[in-house]
Structure 1
Amino acid sequence: MPPIIKKLISYSTFILCFTFAFAPIKSIAQSRKTIAINQNWHFAKHQKAKSYTQLKYTLVNIPHTWNAFDVLDDEPGYYRGVGYYKKKLNLQPAWKDKKIYLDFGAANQETEVFLNGKKVGHHIGGYTGFTIALDHLKFDGKDELLVKVDNSHNDNIPPLTADFTFFGGLYRNVSLTIVDQAHFADQLYGTNGIYVHAENVSENNAIIKVDGKLLNETNIKQLLVNALLIDAKGNKVGEAKWLSASNEDISFQLPNIMVKNPVLWSPENPYRYQMITRLTDYKTGKVLDEVKTSVGLRYFSFDANKGFFLNGKSVKLIGASRHQDFAKMGNAAPSALQVRDVTLLKEMGGNFLRVAHYPQDQAVLDACDSLGILTSVEIPIVNEITESEAFYNNSKAMQLEMIKQNYNHASVIIWAYMNEVLLKMRYNKEPERKKTYLKSIENLAQQLEDLTRKTDPTRYTMMSNHGDVNGYTNAGLVKIPMIVGWNLYQGWYGGKSEDFGPNLDRIHAAMPDKPLIITEYGADVDPRIHSDEPIRFDKSLAYGMEYHQIYIKDILKRPFIAGAAAWNLSDFSSETRSETMPSVNNKGLLTLDRQPKNTYFLYKAHFSKQPYIKIGDGSWKLRGGTTTAQQVSVISNLDSIVLVVNGKKQVKKAVIDGVVGWKIDFKAGKNELEALAYKNGKVYKDNSTIEFILQPQAFLNATKSFNLLLGSQRQFIDDKNQIWLPSKAFEKNSWGAIGGEPFKIKNSSRQQYGSDKDIKGTLNDPIYQTQLVGLDAYELKVPKGKYQVTLHFAELMGNGIQSVLPYNLDSLIAEGKEVPPQRIFDVYLNGKLVIKALNIAAKYGVAHKVEQQFDCVITDDKGIRLDFKGIAGKPVLNALQVRRIK
C-alpha cells in the first residue's frame, strides 16, 4: 500500500451553490461572477418529422425532468428520447470583454448545446457536470441557447440497465460564469481549475499542495498565482506563490504550504480551513480571478482485519446509500432537499454515505463536508457492460470527471466504478464467448483502477459486487480494487437473515487480505403494510425491523467489516419494478417523500449519541383488529422504558437491541400513548395518539366497512385510510372463507403467498396482489339489515409483469408468458346469481383491478353467504368489503 494512503488529506471545494433558481450566487473580488439561469426556459419533447423550431414549447424552470410522472403510471416504460430546452440570454454590456461559460450541474444523458444556431458543445454522461465556453455572443438580448438532451438507451453509455429510473432532462442547476480573459479554469472536466490536496498529515504537521490550470487570453505577460490558507477564524496559516510568464493554457503546482498542529477534520468535528487562490496581474497588482476552496485535513486507512481508521482511531463506517429522486419531482429536486437528506443521515447517527450509483449534486458533498459524513462516490457502470471502445472511453471519461469535480471534498475517501457488474450475465449458453465477456469486464475494471490511482493516489478504490462471491473471484474482479464492497441480501432475495453473519465470515476467510464494506443490504418496507406474523417478502414494517436488527448486530460485532451502507436512505423510483408500490423500490429507511419508517428510528436508536426514545408504531396512527390485544414497540437507546396507555402504566421493561415491546389492550377509538425513560436525572419521552377500530363490530356502523384481504397474512391501509385485515377460515357464528388456498407463485424461492404484479387501475395494489384460489364460499354472520357487498378480483396467473430485471425473476418464473388457463365461474349472493360466467383474464386482462358491488337485505339470522361455482378452472377472490347501509 503506498505510504501516501496511510496519511492523507482531502479537501472540499467551496462550490458556488445554485440552491435557489435565478438568484446571483457569488461575486468574487469583482472578477468572477456565477449567475443561475434556471428561470424561464422553454421545453418541448421531440416529435417525429418536426424540427425543433416547429415544436410546441411550454414554459419550465430548471431543475426539470420530463419523467417526473410517467415513471409512476400503470403503463410499462417511460419516455426515453430527445427533449429541447430554449432560452434567451440577457447579457450585460459590461461583460463584452469577459470570458463567459455555461455551466450545467448535469443533464441526462447525452447533451448538445447550440448558441444562435451553431453547435458549441457536446457532453456524454448523465451524472457529472460540464462546462461550455460561449464565444461570439451578440449582447443584444437576442442570443439564444438551445440545449438538446437525449436519455435514449445507448449501448455505449453507462448505465445500460439498473434498478433505478433513468430520468431525462436538465435536472440540475444551470448557470453562467463570467470571468476575466485571464482566469482559472479546467473546461475539459467542468471545474474551476483549482485542486488542493495534502500529504503526510498527522496531529503535528500537514503538507498542502495546490495544483491548477489557468487560461490567459490577454496580453499580460506575467501572472501571479497566490494561495493563502486561513483557519476558521480567518487567521493566516500559510501561503504559496508562483509566477507565470506565458499567455496560454497553463498547468501549475505551487510550492508546499506547511501546517503545524493542524485541526483535523472528523465526523465529530468537521473543521475546515479555507484556501483563497488568486490570479493577479503581476505588474499592476489587479486581481483577475479568485477561487475559494474549503480544506479538511485528515488521514485515514483501511485494514483487512481491523476495519477503518480515521486520524489514527478505529471508526466503524455506518450509514446508507442514496438515490437522488424525490416524490413527484423525479431527479429534478432543488439543492435544499438534497442537503436535507444528508441532515437526516446525520441525525440518524450515520457517518457514512455511499453516493450511489452515480455522482450527485455538489450540494450533497458540500453538506457531507460541513456535517462530517464520510463518502464513497461511483460512476454508473451497473449490471453489465458493452464490449466496445466507445463504452470503455465513456466510462473512463466519467471516472475522470467524477474525480476532478469532487476532488476538493474532505468527505470523499473512496472512488468506485462498478456495481454488481455480473448480475445480468451475458452468453450463459456460450461458454467460450462468456469467457471473453468476463475478460472484457476485467480489462475495463483494471483500466479504471489504474486511471483512478494515477489521477488521485490519496484515496481508496472500490467495486461493489452482488452475492456471487465465486463468480467475482473467478472473474479476477476481487483482486483489482483496494476495497471490495458486497451487496448482501440474505433473508430477502434468498436464504435467511441469520445466514448473513456466517456468510460474512466465509467471505473474509476467502480473501483475508482485502478490506470489506457491506455496500448494500435491505428489505422492502411498505409503511402501509403491517403483520403480526411477518415473513420474508411480505413488505411489512415488522419484517423490516427484524431484518435490520439482525444485520446491525452482525455488522457491529465483526471488526473486519470496515463499514456498512443500508440500501437505501430513502425509497426511490425504479420504473421496471412490480411491487406493492409499483415502480418504487421500498427498501428505504425513509419514504420517497422522506417520511421516516421504523427502520430509520432503529438506526437512530443504535447510532445517535443523543438520548433517544420513539414510540415505534407512532407512524401507524390507524390500527384495527378483531381483538383489542395488540403489540406496541418503543425504539430507544436508553436502558429501560415505561409505557403509559390511556393513563395506565404498563410494566417497566429493559431495551434490547434498541427495541422493547408490550402487548396491550387498546380501546375502540383514540388511544393516548406515552413512553418515558430516565437518565442522569432527566426524563425523556415520546407521545402518540393511535386510533383503533375493532373489527368486525365496526362495520355495523354505516360509515365504516369491514375490509378483508384473502390469501393474505398482512394488514394494509389504503389511500382512503381504510384498514384491510387478513381473512381466515370460517368459524361458526363468525366469518371467513370456506375452502380455497392462498395464491402462491409457482417455483418461487421467496414469496410464500401472493404476487408482486403491478395491478392496473389502482393505487392500492396490495388489495389485489393476494387471493384465495378454489374457494367454495364466504360467510359472514351479520345481524338483520341492508348491506353493501363489494368483491375485488384480479387475475394473477399469466404474464402481467413488466420487468426482466433479475430482481423480479421470481415473477417471471411465476406462470411463464403463456395465456393463463381458462378460469370461468359464477358467484351467488345468498342464493341469487350475481355474477355469471366471470372470466377475469378474457374480459379484463391479467393483473387488472376488477370491482363488483351488490346490495342485499338480511331478514333472518343466516347472514351473508357468497358461493363460488366453477365452470372451468378454479374460482378466485382477492378481497371483500361489507358495509351496512342505513
Structure 2
Amino acid sequence: MRKLIIIFICTILFNNLFAQQKQRLTENWEYLNGDLGGVWEAVRPVKEGNPESVPVWQKVNLPHCFNATDAVDPDMNYYQGPGWYRTQLTIANPYQKGRTLLHFEGAGQKTQVYIYNKKVGDHVGGYDEFTVDITDEVEAFKKNEAFQKEFKGKIPVEIRCDNSRDLEMIPSSLSDFNVYGGLYRYVNLIYAPQLSLDKVFANASVDAKGNLGKLTVSARLLNPDGIDTITVKVDLKDPEGKVISSWKNEMRAFTGDKVLWDTVVKSPKLWATEQPTLYTVETTVSAKGESSVHQEKIGFRNFEFVKKGPFMLNGKRLLLRGTHRHEDHAGVAQAMTEDMIKQEMLMMKEMGVNFIRLGHYQQSRIVLDLCDSLGILVWEEIPWCRGGLGGDTYKAQARRMLTNMIEQHYNHASIIIWGLGNENDWPGDFAEFDKDKIRAFMKELNDLSHKLDPSRKTAIRRCDFCKDIVDVYSPSIWAGWYRGIYTEYKEASKKEFESVDRFLHVEWGGDSHAGRHSESPDKALSLIKTGVGADEREGDASLYGGSARVSKDGDWSESYIVNLIDWHLKEQESMTWLTGTAYWPFKDFSTPIRPDNPVPYVNQKGVVERDFTKKESYYVFQAYWTKTPMAHIYGHSWPVRWGDAGEEKMVKVYSNCDEAELFVNGISVGKKKRNLKSFPAIGLRWMVKLNEGTNNFKVVATKDDKTVTDEISQQYQTAKWAKPAKMILEKLKEKEGIATIQVKLMDDKGILCLDAASYITFGLTGEGSLIDNQGTSSGSRKVQLSNGHAVINVNLHGGKSVVSVKAVGIPSAFIEL
C-alpha cells in the first residue's frame, strides 16, 4: 500500500511539473440546463437583482455532467439535449506572442466554444481530447475598451455541450450505457510559447529477453506563425530521474510528424504488472529565446499473443486477470474527479487486477497514467458500439476518434490493444444492415490503427463475421447468465479459442442485487437448457419472455454470483492455453435500457456498487488473484439466514491463505486446507448447525507465518413466513444530520418475509430530503427488496419530516423524523 501511495504522489508531482503553464479550470462556472436563443443570451449585460434576467443559471464546479442524477431517476428518461456553461477568465500569458489554449480532456457530446459572442472552436465526440486556440479572440477582446470595462478585465467564455440523440454519431443510443452530456472531464487553460510542442511520440520496445531496448522519439510542432529555425533537445531519464542519454540539434522547423532521435538502452529495467518501471522522455524545443518542455512517461516491455496460445509479457506467460471500467459514479455520473478515479483504480489493483478493458470509449488520461504506474495492462477502444454503420459523417467521426485515441495515448506502456468496436453485429439504428459494408469499414479501421501504431494489436468483441480482420478476438461467452450453465464455461471457451488465431475472453459474469442472498442460489440452473452455447443474444437483457436463462429466471443474489465467479476463476487457473479474461464490469453503472432492474436503470454486474461499496464477489477475486494474506467470511451484508432447526448450513470463507480455521459461537469447527481444484470457496467451506437467533463466526487464516482474521454475526430464523401483509419503517441510525431508514416486509404474524423481492417506493414530505437517484441499493427511492428489507438515507436539514413507503398490494407505512 505504501508503495502505491508513493507512486501516486510521484504521478501528481509529474503532472504538475509545469503548473505555471497549465491551470485546471474547476471553479467559478455557471450552468444552464437547456438551450439558448444564441450565445448572446449567455453574455448580454445583466443588472444584478433584475427579476427579468432569465433564464436562471446555477453555480457549478468542473467536472460536471448534465445527468449527475437523472440517469438513474426511476420515473423519467435521462436528459439528452443541449446545456450551456459560462465563466470569466483572467488571461495573463507570460510568453511574448505566446498562444493561449483551452484544452478539453473530454466533453459530451458535441461542443462549441465561444469567446464573448464569437465561436472559436467546436468538436464532435464525447471522449477524445481536443484543444481550442483562443489567442486571437482574446487579444481582440482586450483591445475593446468598452468590453474591458464591462467585464472588469476578464474574458467571458461560453461553452455549449449537446448530447442529443443523433444516428450519425457514435456511440449508438442503443448502447448499454448512458451517452452523457456536459464538461464531465477537466478543462485546462494552457499558455504556450510562440512555438511549442504539440505532441511527442515515444516508441519504446525491448526484445523478449530484455537485453536491448530501443527508443524512437518523434514530434509535432504547434507553429502558427511559421517560425523558421528551432533547437530541439531530448533527454532520456531512468526511473530514478537520472539522465542516461541525450540528443540535441538545431534544425529547420518542420510540419507534420518528424522522427527526431533513435537510441538504444542496454538491459533496461522492464515495465511489468508486478514492477511497473517507468522512464521519462523530456523533449525541449526552443525558438526566439523561449522554450517549450514536454515530458512523457514510457516503459520498456515486450508482449505477445502467441498464435493458438497464451499471452506473454517479457518472455514469460502472464494470465491476464482483468475487469472493465465505465466512467460512471453515484451522484456525479461521468464527472468523476481525479480522487474518485484514483480510488477506483487502486481498488482494482487491490483486487488483483493486472488487465483492464476500457469500455466502450477513450477514457481520461488520468486513468491511463494510473494504469502505467500501477501495472495494469489496457485494451482501449473507440465507441463504435452497436446500431450498425452510418454514413460518411458517422465513419469520419470513427476514423477521427481512433486517430485521436492512438495519438493521445500512444506513449502509455500499459496499452497493448486498440479496440475497434463492440457488438457491431447488433443492428437497429439504420434501415440497412450490410455485413459486407461493416466488414469493409472494420478493415479500414484495422489498417488505420496499424498504420498509426504498428506496435499494438487490434481487437473487437462480439462480431463473428469480422473476427478474421483483427489481431485478437473476443467472442460472446456468458456461461451461466445469458445462456447455459456456468459449468459449461471451459468447454465453450475452448471451442471459441480454436476458431481464431488469438483469443481473449472479455465480458463474463452476471448481475447481483447488493445485499440479496439465497440459501439455494443455483436453483434456477435446473430450468436452463444446456448444450446450446453460452453467447448472449439480442434481447437477453430483458427480464421478460424468451427462453429460460439465469438473467431472467435467477434470483439475482450475491450468493449465485459468487458461485459463478468462483467456478470461472477455478477453471481459468487450469486453462494453460488461455491468454486471459476480463470480468464485466468492475463497478455497477447506469444504463437507459434496463428500467426494470432491481435498482432501476443500473447494470448491476459490478463487484462494487456505483458508490464503491464492495459486494461479496470482490473478495472472491482477491482469494484467487492477490498475494497479500486476506480472509473474508461470506455474508457480511447478509443479516439473517433461514432454514429448519438442526439443519446444516454451508459457511464459506474466501481466502488466499494456505489454511483456515472456523469458529462458530466460539467453538472451532475445524481447519481446512486451501485447494484450487475444490469448488466452492477453494475448499474453505464448512457445514455447520446454527442456533436459533444470533450466531457469531470467526475465521483465523495463515499464510507464510502471517495470520489474518475476519468476523461476522448473523441471525438464524427457523420461523416460516406466510404471505406478505405489512411493512414496518424504522430508523436504524442518525449521524451528522443523516438518518438511515429501513423498511421490512412482514407477514400477518410479524415474521420477516426473507424471500421477498417486491418493488417498494420511498417518499418524503417535510423539511428533509431523500438521498436518492444514486443508482445504488441504498440510494434509490424505487428499489427491489433484498431478503425482505431495504434502506435509504434522509438528509434531515435540521427539521421535521415524514418518510413513507409503498408497495403494490401492501398498506403503506410511515415514520416521523
Tell me, yes or no, whether TM beats 0.5.
yes
**2:171 & 2:353 partners in 1: Cα distance?**
28
**Residue aligning to 2:63:** 63
**Residue aligning to 1:644:** 663
> What is the Cα deviation at residue 215 of structure 1?
2.6
| Higher radius of gyration, 1 or 2 | 1
**1:523 & 1:698 partners in 2: Cα distance?**
30
- Cα RMSD of the aligned pairs, angstroms, is 3.7
3-state SS of paired residue (2:273): coil
**1:489 & 1:394 partners in 2: Cα distance?**
31
> What is the Cα deviation at residue 374 of structure 1?
0.5
User: In structure 2, do the counterparts of structure 1 residues 15 and 295 end up closer, same or farther at CA, with 3 Å as the change threshold?
Assistant: farther
**1:216 & 1:585 partners in 2: Cα distance?**
47
Choose which of 487, 491, 506 in structure 1 pairs with 2:495.
506
User: In structure 2, do the counterparts of structure 1 residues 70 and 96 end up closer, same or farther at CA, with 3 Å as the change threshold?
Assistant: farther
3-state SS of paired residue (2:636): helix
**1:425 & 1:627 partners in 2: Cα distance?**
55
Moved more, 641-650 or 394-403: 641-650
3-state SS of paired residue (2:475): strand
**Residue aligning to 1:380:** 383
3-state SS of paired residue (2:183): coil
**1:555 & 1:225 partners in 2: Cα distance?**
50
3-state SS of paired residue (2:447): helix
Q: Indicate if the aligned counterparts of 1:68 and 1:329 stay in contact, CA closer than 8 A.
A: yes
User: In structure 2, do the counterparts of structure 1 residues 407 and 15 end up closer, same or farther at CA, with 3 Å as the change threshold?
Assistant: farther
**Residue aligning to 1:851:** 810
3-state SS of paired residue (1:331): coil
3-state SS of paired residue (1:530): coil
Question: Does structure 1 residue 515 correspond to structure 2 residue 512?
Answer: no
**Residue aligning to 1:34:** 22
TM-score by length of 1: 0.73
**Residue aligning to 2:625:** 607
> What is the Cα deviation at residue 623 of structure 1?
4.8
Question: Does structure 1 residue 674 correspond to structure 2 residue 698?
Answer: yes
Alignment of 1:75-474 (within 5 A): 75-92=75-92, 94=94, 97-136=97-136, 137=138, 138-139=141-142, 140=148, 141-160=153-172, 161-185=174-198, 193-201=199-207, 202-217=209-224, 221-246=228-253, 249=255, 251-281=257-287, 286=289, 288-424=291-427, 434=433, 437-465=434-462, 472-473=463-464
**1:293 & 1:315 partners in 2: Cα distance?**
26
Identity of aligned pairs, percent?
27
**1:50 & 1:451 partners in 2: Cα distance?**
39
User: In structure 2, do the counterparts of structure 1 residues 769 and 509 end up closer, same or farther at CA, with 3 Å as the change threshold?
Assistant: farther
**1:113 & 1:261 partners in 2: Cα distance?**
48
Q: Indicate if the aligned counterparts of 1:110 and 1:123 stay in contact, CA closer than 8 A.
A: yes
Choose which of 46, 50, 73 in structure 1 pairs with 2:34.
46
Q: Deviations over 1:606-647 (max 9, x none)?
A: 010222211121233455667585542211122332111232
Q: Indicate if the aligned counterparts of 1:208 and 1:257 stay in contact, CA closer than 8 A.
A: yes
**Residue aligning to 1:763:** 782
- What one-letter code is carried by the residue in structure 2 that aligns with 1:182? L
3-state SS of paired residue (1:170): coil
- What one-letter code is carried by the residue in structure 1 that aligns with 2:483? G
User: In structure 2, do the counterparts of structure 1 residues 367 and 27 end up closer, same or farther at CA, with 3 Å as the change threshold?
Assistant: closer
Q: Deviations over 1:767-788 (max 9, x none)?
A: 8999xxxxxxxxxxxxxxxxxx
Q: Indicate if the aligned counterparts of 1:47 and 1:55 stay in contact, CA closer than 8 A.
A: no
**Residue aligning to 1:832:** none
Alignment of 1:830-841 (within 5 A): none
User: In structure 2, do the counterparts of structure 1 residues 667 and 130 end up closer, same or farther at CA, with 3 Å as the change threshold?
Assistant: same
> What is the Cα deviation at residue 323 of structure 1?
0.7
Q: Indicate if the aligned counterparts of 2:478 and 2:509 stay in contact, CA closer than 8 A.
A: yes
**Residue aligning to 1:806:** none
**Where do 5+ consecutive residues of structure 1 fail to align?**
1-13, 186-192, 466-471, 707-718, 744-757, 771-789, 795-849, 855-880
**Residue aligning to 1:585:** 603
**Residue aligning to 1:661:** 685
User: In structure 2, do the counterparts of structure 1 residues 25 and 510 end up closer, same or farther at CA, with 3 Å as the change threshold?
Assistant: closer
> What is the Cα deviation at residue 240 of structure 1?
2.2
Q: Deviations over 1:635-668 (max 9, x none)?
A: 1122332111232212223333544223445556
**1:18 & 1:638 partners in 2: Cα distance?**
33
**Where do 5+ consecutive residues of structure 2 fail to align?**
1-6, 43-53, 143-147, 525-549, 731-739, 759-776, 790-803
**Residue aligning to 2:771:** none
Q: Deviations over 1:164-200 (max 9, x none)?
A: 1112110000111111101101xxxxxxx11100245
> What is the Cα deviation at residue 16 of structure 1?
13
- What one-letter code is carried by the residue in structure 2 that aligns with 1:280? S
User: In structure 2, do the counterparts of structure 1 residues 336 and 548 end up closer, same or farther at CA, with 3 Å as the change threshold?
Assistant: same
Q: Deviations over 1:250-274 (max 9, x none)?
A: 5321121211111110011101111
User: In structure 2, do the counterparts of structure 1 residues 791 and 450 end up closer, same or farther at CA, with 3 Å as the change threshold?
Assistant: closer
**Residue aligning to 2:557:** 540
User: In structure 2, do the counterparts of structure 1 residues 517 and 703 end up closer, same or farther at CA, with 3 Å as the change threshold?
Assistant: closer
Moved more, 546-555 or 289-298: 546-555
Q: Indicate if the aligned counterparts of 2:727 and 2:810 stay in contact, CA closer than 8 A.
A: no
Choose which of 539, 554, 557 in structure 1 pairs with 2:571.
554
Alignment of 1:448-847 (within 5 A): 448-465=445-462, 472-473=463-464, 475=465, 477-511=466-500, 514-534=501-521, 535=524, 536=550, 537-577=554-594, 578-621=596-639, 623=641, 627=645, 630-655=649-674, 656-657=678-679, 658-659=681-682, 660-667=684-691, 671-690=695-714, 695=719, 720-722=741-743, 763-766=782-785, 794=808
**1:721 & 1:267 partners in 2: Cα distance?**
43
**1:142 & 1:18 partners in 2: Cα distance?**
33
TM-score by length of 2: 0.79
> What is the Cα deviation at residue 379 of structure 1?
0.7
**1:380 & 1:479 partners in 2: Cα distance?**
20
Q: Deviations over 1:497-527 (max 9, x none)?
A: 122221112222333xx11111100110112
- What one-letter code is carried by the residue in structure 1 that aligns with 2:512? V
**2:230 & 2:414 partners in 1: Cα distance?**
33
- What one-letter code is carried by the residue in structure 1 that aligns with 2:449? T
Kindly tell me the number of residue pairs found equivalent between the two proteins: 701
- What one-letter code is carried by the residue in structure 1 that aligns with 2:268? P
> What is the Cα deviation at residue 791 of structure 1?
12
Q: Indicate if the aligned counterparts of 1:382 and 1:419 stay in contact, CA closer than 8 A.
A: yes
Moved more, 120-129 or 492-501: 492-501
- What one-letter code is carried by the residue in structure 2 that aligns with 1:86? R
**1:332 & 1:291 partners in 2: Cα distance?**
27
Q: Indicate if the aligned counterparts of 1:25 and 1:34 stay in contact, CA closer than 8 A.
A: no
Q: Deviations over 1:10-29 (max 9, x none)?
A: xxxx999998xxx997353x
User: In structure 2, do the counterparts of structure 1 residues 651 and 552 end up closer, same or farther at CA, with 3 Å as the change threshold?
Assistant: same
- What one-letter code is carried by the residue in structure 2 that aligns with 1:580? P
> What is the Cα deviation at residue 764 of structure 1?
3.0
**2:752 & 2:189 partners in 1: Cα distance?**
67
Q: Indicate if the aligned counterparts of 2:744 and 2:752 stay in contact, CA closer than 8 A.
A: no
> What is the Cα deviation at residue 722 of structure 1?
5.0
- What one-letter code is carried by the residue in structure 1 that aligns with 2:16? K
**2:262 & 2:11 partners in 1: Cα distance?**
32
3-state SS of paired residue (1:241): strand
> What is the Cα deviation at residue 163 of structure 1?
0.8
Q: Deviations over 1:564-590 (max 9, x none)?
A: 000011111113202111111110011
**1:662 & 1:441 partners in 2: Cα distance?**
53
User: In structure 2, do the counterparts of structure 1 residues 526 and 240 end up closer, same or farther at CA, with 3 Å as the change threshold?
Assistant: same
Q: Indicate if the aligned counterparts of 2:418 and 2:459 stay in contact, CA closer than 8 A.
A: yes
**2:35 & 2:230 partners in 1: Cα distance?**
51
Q: Indicate if the aligned counterparts of 1:182 and 1:214 stay in contact, CA closer than 8 A.
A: yes
